[in-house]
Structure 1
Amino acid sequence: SKVLFAACELGVFDLLAEAPEPLDLATVVARLGTSSHGTELLLDTCASLKLLNVETRGGREGTLYQNTELSSTYLARVSPTSQSNMLLYMAGTTYRCWGHLAKAVREGKNQYLQVFGVPSEELFSAIYRSEEEQLQFMRGLQEVWSITGQRVLTAFDLSQFPLICDLGGGSGALAKECLSLYPECKVTIFDIPEVVRMARKHFPSSEDERIGFHQGDFFKDPLPEADLYILARILHDWTDEKCSRLLQKLQHTCKPGGGILVIESLLDEDRQGPLTTQLYSLNMLVQTEGQERTPTQYHRLISSAGFRSFQFKKTGAIYDAIFA
């Protein structure tokens, strides 16, 4: 992971994406302002990881480097499907917590106190330790929904719900995807005050008159009225007890005939895969209070809160959809 993060941070994929032809080592070093020896080692390792293509012409001095299709699509900032902001957030925050994985397993606790000196009860203040980091995380989520949003929002027909509330909706990236699919609906984004302020300041989606913002803490404050509540990457952050409390609050607030759309990465029932979801679950251990869950575990939480007609669909992408 650190090889990928370092190459993103140094701008390797951006440089090669902008170049009209493959570049040699000396040109890459000159433009990035890096050491020749270190850059050569990094580029060759990226090539072994299938992140770069290498072409050799007349000996080692004639080695040329170019992005692979994967890197051009997801790692270069100029790409509309770039994931660079989320990767840089992972490099600066998530990866540092993973350095204490063994300690997290021993204690069963996230490692924010160990890494950042922040107690677990102030967890989400730690995620937004600076405005720059907060903006990077919000842009990262925008990137995630640019490639997975439509799949999870079309897993079920949501056209029957004219008023939607996206809990923890951040910049409005998922709301924007929702409006592109269901243009007649209106979406209210409910998030903490600092996120709402950043969304209005930095993201053009906040200017869409069909998108409204409501600030507050969804555990403590009244929720906006809606026909459908979206919980995307929300429940995996929390313990079962907190999930149950939030779901019960939603059930009491939801209009008759309304529902919830839960967007999470689902574990197989035997918990032996998918590997990506297992890694996400370990990530919840080192970074939050929660975990990824199986469909049965979500069914138990959601039905006990009073929701009926539980359905789930695996989308084939990194996130799946649950409707109740």
Structure 2
Amino acid sequence: MTAESPESSVNPGPIMGIMAGYWQTRILLAAVESDVFTGLSDKPATSAELADRLGLTPLGTQYLLAGLTHLGLLEVSDGTYSNSPVAERFLIRGRTEYLGGYLQFCDRELNPAWDGLASTLRTGTPHNRAAVVGNPYDTLYQDAEATDGFLDSMDLLNTPVSLAMSRLDWSSYTSFVDIGGARGNFAHHVVSRNPHLTGAVFDLPQLEPAFSRHMDQLGGSASAITFHGGDFFKDPLPEADVLVFGHVLHNWNTEDRVRLLKSAYEAVKPGGAVFVYDPMAGGDKPPMHAVLASLAMLVWSRGGHEYTVPELHGWLTEAGFSPETAEVPGLHDDVLVIGRKDR
């Protein structure tokens, strides 16, 4: 190989960069666990001052803060560190937009499941034991404080989708049920914009206390939203004009998806519809967010993975619906498919 050959410009940097991505994740998670961002909120400090404030070792703190600065989460001036705008908004414990609950979920639930990716590729079995023996959400919702922290983050992340869906034309309908709707964030946004609607959430019974607390905090339109506890693989779904499956079908295998859609067909009133939104990406090079979501579902859930729009159309048709793909501004990485039930 000559000095001028194309191969001479190839180096292992991209590979090492990918590997370093995991180390960067650990830097973020360690900072969240140690409350670095909360400690710096409105109180900039040198690394030595922050180490003393948080009870950390000086040397480790020095390099941790330098790493967080490279990641764009801190800013430094004359040796004094402060939060960057994104850290100040989303990483301060106790604030409504705090993402720590979701990061904790990733660290405790998703990341250990990802450790078994190579095994899952060989066996097809998720690395998450809770998914092997039952519903992966059962263990997730065992701790009330952890549940609220996780749901705080999920509400923050799904609010843009909820707002986009609330702007649909709901005038032909009077009721809807959000299947797997947790503590009612989606339902709240839809009813707030469409006060003629009555909304409901169908989810695991252990989420009802979290739902009730959240509705009490919201007040107003929340009184038009009810909770139905159950297991959608064992119990009939509540009847309504519209049933919504948002980020639900990708958690399950194809057989379970068809079962759910057939259950939905029985519950949807004549002239009603089912709304399904998920990333839905296919082809030889799907978007990276869809690839990561699909692999995460493979290692964490019972056969879950992303799917394509034509596949969903086929399942909806099999269940009895007439499917169509809708254009919804603001859905970003998601696609909405509507399955209509003839009168």
- 1:1-324, aligned counterparts within 5 Å? 1-19=25-43, 22-55=44-77, 57=78, 63-77=79-93, 80-113=96-129, 119-154=132-167, 156-201=168-213, 204=216, 208-267=222-281, 269-289=282-302, 290-313=304-327, 315=330, 317-324=332-339
What is the DSSP-based 3-state SS (H/G/I as helix, E as strand, rest coil) of the residue aligned with 2:111?
helix
- Structure 1 residue aligned with 2:4: none
Change (3 A) 1:129 1:180: same
Question: Max radius of gyration: which structure?
Answer: 2
What is the DSSP-based 3-state SS (H/G/I as helix, E as strand, rest coil) of the residue aligned with 2:269?
coil
* CA distance in structure 1 between the partners assigned to 2:133 and 2:272 by the alignment: 34
Which runs of 5 or more structure 1 residues have no equivalent in the other structure?
Answer: 58-62
1:83, CA displacement in angstroms? 2.1
* Per-residue CA distance 1:32-77 (angstroms, 9 max, x = gap): 221212222221111111222222x2xxxxx122222222233234
Kept after mapping to 2: 8 A contact 1:264/1:319: yes
1:78, CA displacement in angstroms? 5.6
Normalised to the residue count of structure 1, the TM-score between the two structures is 0.87
Change (3 A) 1:172 1:43: same
Change (3 A) 1:122 1:145: closer
What is the DSSP-based 3-state SS (H/G/I as helix, E as strand, rest coil) of the residue aligned with 2:283?
coil
Change (3 A) 1:45 1:76: same
- Which range moves more in the overlay, 241-250 or 143-152? 143-152
Change (3 A) 1:157 1:82: farther
Change (3 A) 1:125 1:80: closer
Matched AA of 1:43? L
Change (3 A) 1:8 1:321: farther
Matched AA of 2:66? D
Change (3 A) 1:206 1:249: farther
Kept after mapping to 2: 8 A contact 1:295/1:312: no
Which runs of 5 or more structure 2 residues have no equivalent in the other structure?
Answer: 1-24
1:201, CA displacement in angstroms? 4.5
* CA distance in structure 1 between the partners assigned to 2:53 and 2:307 by the alignment: 45
Kept after mapping to 1: 8 A contact 2:74/2:87: yes
- Which range moves more in the overlay, 71-80 or 189-198? 71-80
Kept after mapping to 2: 8 A contact 1:81/1:146: no
* Per-residue CA distance 1:274-308 (angstroms, 9 max, x = gap): 11121111110111020112222222222221211
1:179, CA displacement in angstroms? 1.8
What is the DSSP-based 3-state SS (H/G/I as helix, E as strand, rest coil) of the residue aligned with 1:50?
coil
1:130, CA displacement in angstroms? 3.0
Change (3 A) 1:226 1:248: same
Query: What's the Cα RMSD here?
Result: 2.3
Matched AA of 1:279? L
Kept after mapping to 2: 8 A contact 1:247/1:302: yes
* CA distance in structure 2 between the partners assigned to 1:50 and 1:278 by the alignment: 25
- Matched residue count: 311
* CA distance in structure 1 between the partners assigned to 2:217 and 2:321 by the alignment: 31
* CA distance in structure 2 between the partners assigned to 1:205 and 1:170 by the alignment: 15
- Which range moves more in the overlay, 296-305 or 243-252? 296-305
* CA distance in structure 2 between the partners assigned to 1:15 and 1:318 by the alignment: 34
Matched AA of 2:237? L
* Per-residue CA distance 1:141-178 (angstroms, 9 max, x = gap): 22222344212443x32332220101111111111111
Kept after mapping to 2: 8 A contact 1:110/1:287: yes
1:202, CA displacement in angstroms? 5.7
Normalised to the residue count of structure 2, the TM-score between the two structures is 0.83
- Which range moves more in the overlay, 127-136 or 181-190? 127-136
Change (3 A) 1:236 1:309: closer
Change (3 A) 1:90 1:205: same
Kept after mapping to 2: 8 A contact 1:251/1:306: yes
Kept after mapping to 1: 8 A contact 2:247/2:277: yes
1:24, CA displacement in angstroms? 1.3
Q: Where has structure 1 moved over 6 Å in runs of 4 or more?
A: none
Kept after mapping to 2: 8 A contact 1:206/1:212: no
* Per-residue CA distance 1:224-254 (angstroms, 9 max, x = gap): 1111111111101100100001101111221
Matched AA of 2:231? D
